[in-house]
């Protein structure tokens, strides 16, 4: 699915996964907390990559006025995100609790790289809630409106 999401977001998810994989191999409480975090975050990332992020791949084309019939495939994907948005945000809250426990374990182990990782992960979820998820929903709504009216919407 990564070929259907913006490369910058795919790279960010890859980096988060790599760091988490390293942390899972740590011993003691730090490794345990990392494994707990991975159990929550992997299914969440899979959902994001399935229906929260694909609409964002169309943003550059849409911003510059380009559209084509294949873009309509994104409408049901964006609808699914809109429907599941409360669940996605709830998952972020659950993830944040586990991230806090992971960050505490990283502090106790004096592992600054994992403390920074925890901070990055929380910033990532905030970015998704404030910008990425709403933008993905808007892409679907724009395309649906465009199809319904059969004309582009003037921006500005």
Q: Convert the pLDDT of each residue in 108-149 to its tens digit.
A: 999 999 999 999 999 999 999 999 999 999 999 999 888 777
Q: Hey, what are 38's tokens?
A: 């991975």
pLDDT of residue 154: 52
Give the span between the Cα atoms of 124 and 103, in whole angstroms: 15
Lowest mean pLDDT among 31-45, 68-82, 100-114: 68-82
Lowest mean pLDDT among 38-47, 57-66, 85-94, 114-123: 57-66
The CA–CA distances, whole Å, from 155 to 49, 60, 152 equal: 28, 14, 9
42 has a pLDDT exceeding 90: yes
Q: Hey, what are 94's tokens?
A: 């659950």
Q: Which of 13, 36, 35 is nearest to 25 (CA)?
A: 35
The mean per-residue pLDDT over the stretch 68-89 comes to: 92
Q: Hey, what are 4's tokens?
A: 């259907």
Residues 6+ apart with CB under 8 A from 134: none
pLDDT confidence band for 3 (50 / 70 / 90)? low
Q: Hey, what are 126's tokens?
A: 């905030």
pLDDT confidence band for 70 (50 / 70 / 90)? confident
- Asked if 139 contacts 62 with a C-beta cutoff of 8 angstroms, the reply is yes
The mean per-residue pLDDT over the stretch 82-104 comes to: 97
């Amino acid at each position: 699915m990564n070929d259907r999401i913006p490369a910058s977001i795919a790279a960010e998810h890859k980096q988060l996964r790599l760091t988490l994989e390293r942390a899972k191999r740590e011993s003691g409480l730090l490794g345990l907390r990392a494994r707990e975090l991975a159990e929550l975050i992997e299914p969440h990332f899979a959902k994001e990559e399935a229906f929260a992020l694909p609409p964002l791949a169309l943003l550059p084309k849409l911003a510059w006025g380009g559209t084509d019939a294949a873009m309509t495939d994104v409408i049901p994907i964006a609808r699914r995100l809109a429907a599941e948005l409360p669940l996605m945000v709830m998952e972020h809250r659950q993830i944040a609790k586990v991230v806090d426990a992971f960050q505490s374990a990283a502090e106790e182990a004096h592992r600054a790289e994992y403390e920074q990782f925890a901070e990055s992960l929380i910033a990532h979820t905030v970015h998704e809630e404030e910008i990425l998820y709403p933008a993905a929903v808007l892409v679907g709504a724009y395309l649906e409106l465009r199809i319904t009216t059969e004309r582009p919407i003037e921006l500005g």
